[in-house]
Structure 1
């Protein structure tokens, strides 16, 4: 598990996974009143993902059905390949996950809505945040850190 996390981090940081990779389509579930979700979708599309947005007013149910632990939640939930992506995860980290397919990982999350993460840009401000992998039993590991 640690090796998988280090590999995801290395691939995302050094650009080994590119936008030209064959990426599966992604479905993003979002509240119809959330603006930052659309900005995150723009980030994904700019980085080679084909995204379908589905507006839902029952995001708590979506997260529960996707298996997102409550303490790891954010505003939107996406499904891509066999993985759940929760919150403002950078596209390169998602690509690294898809490329490596580490065993036991259910998905990636950026809990909350940190300023400076993709879709949450506010000028030059970048609040420190971590991208976490998570398993079906709720175990997490840091796979990338930003703004530290």
Structure 2
């Protein structure tokens, strides 16, 4: 048997996409991508638990820093803002982008804001810089 014949014999058969079983499947093209709704739900839970650390860590980093006027951010508000921002951006990626990607606050940016920006300006000014940087990144993307 030749090498190409052996490769063809051992090559796995390509998967044929199944027909969408629900509106959710049709909208997100789950079957078309070779997955199932159950697999995507399990992946969503795994992603949530892999990212859940940010809910605790972001408020610790930002809440421990003081701005140039000695003000600190409230931990409860930081937790709420972290959760809402991650949920909103992840929903946008899923519904508008139609891709299974979760987004959350980046720890590098948070550390720069807490340790370098905030001590030199007020919290509103530091957060304004973060918004401007986000706008610039979105325009570049």
- TM-score, reference length from structure 1: 0.27
**Structure exhibiting the larger radius of gyration computed from Cα positions:** 2
Higher helix proportion (structure 1 or 2)? 2
Higher strand proportion (structure 1 or 2)? 1
- TM-score, reference length from structure 2: 0.28
